[in-house]
Each structure stands twice: as structure tokens, then as C-alpha cells.
């Protein structure tokens, strides 16, 4: 068992497993360290993998806003021809298209979504409007008007083999990659949803420096050597 006097505070970089929730990761670390005050610098949806910046101890959870404002990088896979109500693979299919965009059309669309953009947050999101989380309304079948939010995006094309389009995305805080996938699909004259997502970077933290969530599932694993006291 980990000695809680040793593991008292710090930043722990974790590579979240597919299918796990951010809450489950927090719960896992609480059991492992016996520390209640644990947070993170931004959630990842269950289907997504990659970097989670875990904040352990009151000193670091109080600084969560500082880490939430960081720019981020992702590798995203879009599934063309199908849209879902949540804009991702976990949602219900709402539209289909048989159009197969050309590589030239893909390149033009990618160039359109560069720089400063206005993005409408998806209904299936934790964003609050008048004190209510959008996903709570969405699950009741309620859709409300959302105001566009300014974001900054840089996209690099990786690979295209219909129906899959892979992109590298650098973006400012508050950017929804799911919305980006949905909007690109509409611009292409077909539909699209986000089928895979990996967070590669959050601020100055990189996935290459993270430990796997699988290691944390070992009750005898000691995370102390991996804790950072500074970004």
C-alpha cells in the first residue's frame, strides 16, 4: 500500500484507457493514494484516450483553472458519411450520406478550419447555460440555442481513406473536437462524427511522459516517483 505521507501532492500525467471515464480515473487514484483532493485539467470522453493531467492534493486542485486554460493537441479520426446526435461514436445515428469526398475536397475543408473560428458548443457537452448542463437537456430530448464561442484551431492532414479521415489538431481551451468533426462533415456535403480521439499534449505536458492507466490498477503501484511539483 502506498504511504499517503509520501504521496501528498503533485501533478501526475496519465494515459487514459479507452472506455474509462475521467471520474473513474480520479476514483482509482483516490484509492491508490488515500488522498481525497484529486482533480484534473480537463476531461476526456469514455471513447477517447491519451493525456490526463491529474492534480493531486489541495494545493494543486486549487490551481485547476490555471491548467484548464492551456492549449491542447489531439490526433482525431473522423468517420465520414454518418452523423450522430452527440457528434461522436457513442451517439445515436441521425443522418447518413453516400457521398465520398475527394482528397482535394478534404484538403480544401481542412484549410477552411484554420486560425480563429467561431464554434457552437454541442448539446452533448458539460457547458452550462442558465445553470443547466447541456448534456442533461440533450438526454431529455431538449435542444436549445447556443451562442458561438471564439476558438483558435490549427489542423494538419494525416491520412484519408474513406470513410476515415485522420487529423492532427492544435487548439485553444474550450475547443470541441466533436463539433469540429461535425462541421467538417457538413462542409464536405456529407456527414461526419468523431470515431477516435487521443490527447497528445496539454500545455507543457506531453503524452510521451505519461504512465498508463493500467499501471494504476495495480494496488501496489507507487506513483510517488512520477509526481511533479512544477509544470
Collapsed DSSP state (helix, strand, coil) of residue 226:
helix
Write down the residue that cell numbers 481513406 correspond to. Answer: 161
- CB 53 within 8 Å of CB 228: no
170-195 pLDDT, tens digit per residue, is 999 989 999 999 999 999 999 999 99
Q: What is the pLDDT of residues 110-121, one digit of tens each?
A: 999 999 999 988
Catalytic residue annotation: 45
Helix axes 103-112, 177-187, angle to 10 degrees: 130
The x, y and z cell numbers of residue 38, run together, are 484529486
Percent with pLDDT over 90 in the chain: 67
The pLDDT mean for the chain works out to 90
Q: Is 61 left (phi over 0), alpha (psi -120 to 50) or beta?
A: alpha
Which residue segments constitute the domains of the chain, with CATH numbers given?
10-69+204-226 (3.30.2350.10), 72-122+150-202 (3.30.2350.10)
Q: How far apart are CA 3 and CA 12, in angstroms?
A: 16
- Extract the C-alpha cell encoding 190: 456529407
Residues with Cβ within 8 Å of residue 171, at least 6 apart in sequence: 71, 72, 73, 74, 151, 152, 153, 154, 177
pLDDT digits (tens, 9 = 90+) for 150-172: 999 999 999 999 999 999 999 99
Radius of gyration of the chain (CA): 19
**What pLDDT does 91 receive?**
93
Residues 6 or more apart in contact with residue 68 via CB below 8 angstroms: 41, 42, 173
The structure's pTM equals 0.90
| pLDDT of the residue at 133 | 76
Instruction: Give the cell for residue 73.
Output: 493537441
Contacts of 56 (CB under 8 A, 6+ apart): 7, 9, 10, 11, 12, 29, 33, 35, 37, 38, 227
* Spans of the chain, pLDDT less than 70: 1-8, 231
- Alpha-carbon torsion angle 180, 182, 187, 188, nearest 10: 110
CA proximity to 113, closest of 183, 19, 45, 34? 183
Amino acid at each position: 500500500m502506498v504511504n499517503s505521507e509520501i504521496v501528498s501532492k503533485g501533478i501526475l500525467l496519465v494515459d487514459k484507457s479507452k472506455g474509462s471515464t475521467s471520474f473513474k480515473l480520479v476514483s482509482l487514484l483516490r484509492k491508490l493514494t488515500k488522498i481525497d483532493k484529486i482533480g484534473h485539467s480537463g476531461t476526456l470522453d469514455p471513447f477517447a484516450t491519451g493525456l490526463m493531467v491529474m492534480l493531486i492534493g489541495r494545493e494543486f486542485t486549487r490551481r485547476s483553472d490555471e491548467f484548464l486554460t492551456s492549449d491542447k493537441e489531439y490526433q482525431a479520426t473522423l468517420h465520414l458519411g454518418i452523423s450522430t446526435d452527440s457528434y461522436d461514436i457513442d451517439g445515436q445515428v441521425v443522418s447518413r450520406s453516400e457521398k465520398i469526398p475527394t482528397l482535394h475536397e478534404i484538403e480544401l475543408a481542412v484549410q477552411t478550419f484554420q486560425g480563429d473560428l467561431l464554434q457552437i458548443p454541442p448539446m452533448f457537452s458539460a457547458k452550462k447555460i442558465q445553470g443547466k448542463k447541456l448534456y442533461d437537456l440533450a438526454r431529455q430530448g431538449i435542444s436549445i440555442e447556443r451562442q458561438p464561442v471564439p476558438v483558435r484551431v490549427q489542423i494538419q492532414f494525416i491520412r484519408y481513406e474513406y470513410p476515415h479521415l485522420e487529423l492532427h489538431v492544435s487548439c485553444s481551451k474550450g475547443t470541441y473536437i466533436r463539433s469540429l468533426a461535425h462541421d467538417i462533415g457538413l462542409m464536405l456535403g456529407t456527414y461526419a462524427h468523431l470515431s477516435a480521439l487521443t490527447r497528445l499534449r496539454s500545455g507543457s505536458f506531453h503524452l510521451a511522459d505519461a504512465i498508463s492507466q493500467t499501471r494504476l490498477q495495480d494496488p501496489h503501484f507507487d506513483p510517488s516517483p512520477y509526481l511533479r511539483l512544477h509544470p
